[in-house]
Chain A
């Protein structure tokens, strides 16, 4: 049923000279980067540096202005509607706040993709959904409505839903934002365990360096729409790149300025100058 290409390259995702613009604003500027298959890769960068755009380009929800985005060797832009949807069945995506369907229960949320894509008997679907919920430790919460979940639980349910179709690639959009330290550790642990247990390729878009560097295999740094550095966590920690150093040490000012570009302060206050 699935159209699975035989081309098994070392890179699950490849960006070849990708530029993406929102109107006149350039979000990604001539980015060429690869995400290795079977590893956890983190995409770091401050707010508005094009990290989420990166994920949307991989999922085919946005199209690059120039360049090519490849998923498992196939160009996303060259796919037909049917091929794109077949490719998306091999991807899972965890949204920043879960994006759970609010009119469905936890169990119904997890079983949703299974119901949509398979003709399996209800009993098997139920067992599969329970297994996915058990994998994230929420088997007992299956009858809750999404409004009854905490932020961390909602993200774990969303994770169970994202792995429901046994994807090959899973993308996490800011998985640690707004979570307490325990929930953060739980999610980080799940990301790491699932990647190994299910043989996934994981892409983690985040600005939470401390937690991420402990679980990822490879890091890519974005700043102002370009890749400014990449390497293993150890290489990143020892990097001399001022942008990366500013990010790691959390310095207020540096290559990434605190202030948004503005006119002269004195003249703005009417003091002449």
Chain B
């Protein structure tokens, strides 16, 4: 029993180390073979459509609802202290610093990340990647790299749209519905949101999340067992690993960006 436990732990550790190594080599390969993506912008634009444009609905609707809830909760709390006008600041800071990058990345991982893993996994299990190789077309350059960069550039844009929609949601609920003064809502927001400290840091976060989610999604697809079960497990792993990576990276980045200043 004890021996079996040790073997299991050993196997998990070795597999984990192997996976980190293989994943790093995979990302190295993606970056090294990126030339074609930028030489043929059409490939890259198609992937921005696939990862970015097709994720717009979920990002816009979720952003709006998060803003509505944030506005409502913020107003109810701030009203007790007589500073209901500060709700604009609260909504904007929460969104651009945290909720925008983090929730948009979580949604991106579930919508686009899972689709990427499934697409690569199915291409692998139905020999499409292998067939491409035998046609002397490098699947890394032709399929994987454009997907990576398409997703990578979509992520910060989606996070920005999420934040903008959230602020709009906050405005709608507090100013239009509840009747908070619109001038105070915007002016307090303008006065307290710093471009460098808040907005840029939020964008940096979404760039890091974009790199992580796309790398995880493509690696899981490429590394999956070429069976229906293998692809389904890989999709699950993409969503779970991406979510954990986003939250862990968010903590680390927040610790560096917003403390001690």
Contacts and interface: CB of A to CB of B under 8 A. Distances in A.
A61 B127 CA distance: 12
A88 B136 contact: yes
Chain B interface residue number, banded: 10 to 19
B136 A89 contact: yes
Contact of A59 (B126, B134, B138): B134
Contacts of B126: 97, 99, 102
B130 A61 contact: yes
B13 interface: no
Interface in B122-150: 122, 126-128, 130-131, 133-138, 142
In this complex, the member of B126, B127, B128, B135 whose beta carbon has the largest number of chain A beta carbons within 10 angstroms is B135
Nearest to B126: A99
A227 interface: no
A97 B127 contact: yes
Chain A interface residue number, banded: 20 to 34
Contacts of A99: 126-128, 130-131
Interface string A137-167: 0000000000000000000001001000100
Interface string A211-234: 000000000000000000000000
Interface in A66-106: 85-86, 88-89, 91-93, 95-97, 99-102
A95 B130 contact: yes
B232 to A, nearest CB: 18
A236 B126 CA distance: 34
A116 B142 contact: yes
A116 B135 contact: yes
Nearest to B133: A61
A259 interface: no
In this complex, the member of A93, A97, A161 whose beta carbon has the largest number of chain B beta carbons within 10 angstroms is A93
A109 B128 CA distance: 11
Given A99-B127, A99-B128, A102-B126, A116 B137 contact: yes
A100 B131 CA distance: 8
B128 A101 contact: yes
Interface in A27-61: 59, 61
Contacts of A117: 136-137
Contact of B133 (A59, A92, A102, A112): A59
Nearest to A173: B127
A113 interface: yes
A96 B128 CA distance: 11
Contact of B136 (A86, A100, A158): A86
Nearest to B134: A93
Interface string A101-125: 1100000000011001100000000
A112 B143 CA distance: 13
Contacts of A97: 126-127
Interface string B100-120: 000000000000000000000
Nearest to A115: B137
B135 A88 contact: yes
A12 to B, nearest CB: 16
A158 B127 CA distance: 12
A93 B131 contact: yes
6 nearest interchain CB pairs?
A: A99-B127, A99-B131, A88-B136, A93-B134, A89-B136, A113-B135
Given A86-B136, A95-B131, A116-B135, 16 more contacts: A59-B133, A61-B130, A61-B133, A61-B134, A85-B136, A88-B134, A89-B136, A91-B134, A93-B131, A95-B127, A99-B128, A101-B128, A102-B128, A113-B137, A116-B136, A116-B137
Interface of A: 59, 61, 85-86, 88-89, 91-93, 95-97, 99-102, 112-113, 116-117, 158, 161, 165
29 contacts: A59-B133, A59-B134, A61-B130, A61-B133, A85-B138, A88-B133, A88-B135, A88-B136, A89-B136, A92-B134, A93-B131, A95-B131, A97-B126, A99-B126, A99-B128, A99-B130, A102-B122, A102-B126, A113-B136, A113-B137, A116-B135, A116-B136, A116-B137, A116-B142, A117-B136, A117-B137, A158-B131, A161-B135, A165-B136
